[in-house]
């Protein structure tokens, strides 16, 4: 996985690359169509393959108070793109300087001068530059001045365009199965296991409390999940919500791994969401909750046995 953090770190070996440009939040099937176009152009011209993205997401820069909405951590995005055969992912710092840059300066200074790209691939709705003044037609005109070719990929979808916003809406509705189909993979949350209130242990189901950061929060409830720890896969069941039985209000992701023992504190965990089992409910005390958790475990085992 080659993740670069500035145009200054773009190595000479990548100059002349064919690059896709976009946010790539989710690396969904629409994004994969862009990567396929990159491969087609790069194969034809024997050029390296790259992705140019932005960090933080421009939405976070322009509306810093917006609720968490990201589908992927940057590291997850880079890993997924690496798996699609991209030689490097460049995450340009989206700050006030970049936001104020004109479309012409973005092409002249970044794409041509700093990166030396030979070809770029963008989606049909791509905009760039200050106030989003640049569009795909302008990109073609500006790119031509530097012999930078442009491929514009049309909308991809099944009657409705694949988009990160659509995936977010599906997750908010608890429709993980459809969201995963649009992503072409299970949606996941990446976080570090931290100390919690130990209630799961008291109930007979010790859980890993996974720290939530700037991720899209799906529908509160119980999910069948698969956790990835140091490359090893562990099936389990997860609760995401506010734990109303105990009158809590902060959102937590608690994961119970089947047939697992060991110390998880401080370890990084990827939690893949495979199915929504039921909404979060309030129970009259710990005993009814224990019985329900046992039923949830069996339901999740049944789901994951077929994966």
Q: Each residue of 265-278: pLDDT tens digit?
A: 999 999 999 999 99
| Residue that wins the pLDDT comparison between 182 and 204 | 182
Section 198-211 average pLDDT: 77
pLDDT of res. 242: 86
Region of poorest pLDDT, from 56-65, 182-191, 256-265: 256-265
Section 212-241 average pLDDT: 94
Q: Say yes or no to pLDDT of 245 above 70.
A: no
Section 8-19 average pLDDT: 96
Section 179-196 average pLDDT: 94
Q: Say yes or no to pLDDT of 196 above 90.
A: no
pLDDT of res. 247: 56
pLDDT band of residue 162 (cuts 50, 70, 90) is very high
Task: Note the pLDDT tens digit of each residue in 41-76.
Answer: 999 999 999 999 999 999 999 999 999 999 999 999
| Residue that wins the pLDDT comparison between 79 and 205 | 79
Prediction pTM value: 0.92
Section 230-242 average pLDDT: 93
pLDDT of res. 261: 83
Average pLDDT over all residues of the chain = 93
Q: Say yes or no to pLDDT of 286 above 90.
A: no
Section 96-108 average pLDDT: 98
pLDDT of res. 112: 98
307: its two tokens: 């994966």
Region of poorest pLDDT, from 108-122, 219-233, 259-273: 259-273
Q: Could you count the other beta carbons within 10 Å of the beta carbon of residue 278?
A: 13
């Amino acid at each position: 996985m080659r993740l670069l953090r500035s145009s200054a770190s773009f190595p000479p070996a990548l100059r002349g690359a064919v690059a896709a440009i976009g946010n790539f939040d989710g690396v969904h099937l629409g994004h994969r169509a862009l990567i396929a176009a990159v491969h087609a152009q790069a194969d034809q011209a024997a050029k390296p393959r790259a992705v140019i993205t932005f960090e933080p997401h421009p939405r976070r820069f322009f509306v810093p108070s917006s609720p968490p909405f990201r589908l992927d951590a940057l590291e997850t995005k880079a890993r997924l793109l690496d798996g699609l055969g991209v030689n490097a992912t460049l995450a340009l710092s989206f700050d006030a300087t970049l936001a104020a840059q004109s479309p012409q300066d973005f092409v002249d200074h970044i794409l041509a001068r700093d990166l030396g790209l030979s070809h770029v691939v963008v989606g049909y709705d791509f905009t760039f530059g200050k106030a989003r003044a640049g569009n795909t037609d302008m990109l073609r005109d500006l790119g031509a001045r530097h012999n930078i070719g442009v491929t514009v990929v049309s909308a991809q979808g099944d009657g409705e365009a694949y988009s990160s916003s659509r995936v977010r809406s599906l997750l908010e509705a608890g429709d993980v199965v459809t969201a995963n189909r649009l992503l072409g993979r299970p949606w996941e949350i990446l976080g570090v296991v931290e100390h919690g209130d130990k209630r799961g242990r008291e109930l007979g189901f010790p859980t890993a409390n996974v720290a939530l950061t700037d991720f899209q929060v799906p529908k509160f409830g119980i999910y069948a999940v698969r956790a990835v720890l140091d490359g090893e896969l562990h099936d389990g069941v997860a609760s995401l919500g506010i734990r109303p039985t105990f009158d809590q209000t902060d959102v937590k992701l608690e994961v119970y791994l089947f047939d697992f023992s060991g110390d998880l504190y401080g370890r990084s965990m990827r939690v893949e969401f495979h199915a929504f089992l039921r909404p979060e409910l309030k129970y009259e005390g710990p005993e009814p909750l224990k019985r329900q958790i046992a039923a949830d475990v069996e339901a999740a085992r049944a789901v994951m046995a077929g994966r």
